[in-house]
Amino acid sequence: MTPSDFLPVWIALGAIPGALSRYYLTLLCAQRFDGDFPFGTFLINLSGAFLMGFLTTELQKISTEQWLNGFATIGFLGAYTTFSTFALDFSNLLKLGNTRRALLYGLGSPLGGFLAVEMGIALAQHL
Amino acid sequence: MLRQPAVRTVIAISLGAIAGALCRYYLGLGIGHLLGTPIPYGTLVVNITGCFAMGLLATLSLGQVISFHPDLRLLLLTGFLGSYTTFSSYELDSAKLLSEKDLQADLIYWTGSVLLGFISLQLGIALSEWILKKLDRDWLS
């Protein structure tokens, strides 16, 4: 028996802190920043994308252990970042009639997330 | 202990998150086996279905006809759907397709995820508005 035999358990263990940090960070950002721009989900998705690029590249170098990958990327980062809230936020911004903010969020998230992943990969390759 | 709102919040989100992440993982595995194509359909299907459910449940839970307990809302929306759908894998998949020089698949996947996610969210909202209207009418009559 190796730790990787319990992959679903590791995914579950990663998903709990991932979802909880998303929830509390969103609350914190809503308190800090006024207005209807969803800074919380925006920052979470960008930082999660950065970590995803960094960790997957780094993990490929140091270990091939499945459990570590399940815990950190499938579990934690998968639960920390969210696509459904991003789509809902975007839809709500459009409904409020704030086209500029809606476009900034709707285009900024995928573009920023893409740059963040590439930066994470580049940083891990440099280390 | 379960009477404390803070404890119930943590438990509700955690339970939803475990189920969401495991559904994402197993669905991804299943779809990956079925379709061995360059486009990562697993993440695509997860994100699109999750957006539909988010539109449906977020609208239903805000309606006056059906009332959701706040803990149930946290479990389903923040816990399950938040954890089921994922943004980081979506961006990583895009970066991988680009590094494999599969520009066409990359553009389809990258823009298609956002477009289809948005459309399915609107379908979910429309369905729940239809349900709410129907329930409202049945109640009044």
Nearest to A124 by CA among A49, A46, A59, A57: A57
Q: Do A15 and B114 touch (CB under 8 A)?
A: no
* A22-36, B22-36, B103-117: range with lowest mean pLDDT: B22-36
**Whole-angstrom distance between the N-terminal and C-terminal Cα of chain A?**
33
Mutate to test the interface with B, among A77, A83, A125 (most CBs of B within 10 A): A83
Flag whether residue A69 sits within 8 Å of chain B, measured between CB atoms.
no
For residue B117, what are its two tokens? 């996610």
Return the number of other C-beta atoms located less than 10 Å from residue B50's C-beta. 29
Describe the crossing of helices B5-34 and B41-62 by its angle, rounded to 10 degrees. Answer: 140
Q: Are A18 and A75 in contact (CB under 8 A)?
A: yes
Nearest to A40 by CA among A31, A29, A50, A24: A29
Any alpha helices (H) in B36-102, and if so which ranges?
41-62, 70-73, 82-84, 88-99
pLDDT tens across B63-97, in order?
777 778 889 999 999 999 999 999 999 999 999 99
Q: Do B88 and A81 touch (CB under 8 A)?
A: yes
Chain A hits for B22, Cβ within 8 Å: 8, 11-12, 15
pLDDT at A35: 77
Indicate the domain borders of chain A: 3-126
Nearest to B17 among A16, A51, A106 (CB): A16
Chain A hits for B89, Cβ within 8 Å: 52, 73, 77-78
Per-residue pLDDT of chain A (127 residues; tens, 9 = 90+): 777 789 999 999 999 999 999 999 999 999 998 778 899 999 999 999 999 999 999 998 887 788 999 999 999 999 999 999 999 999 999 999 889 999 999 999 999 999 999 999 999 999 8
pLDDT average, residue stretch B108-115: 94
ipTM of this complex: 0.92
| Entry pTM | 0.92
CA distance A97 to chain B (A): 16
pLDDT at B65: 74
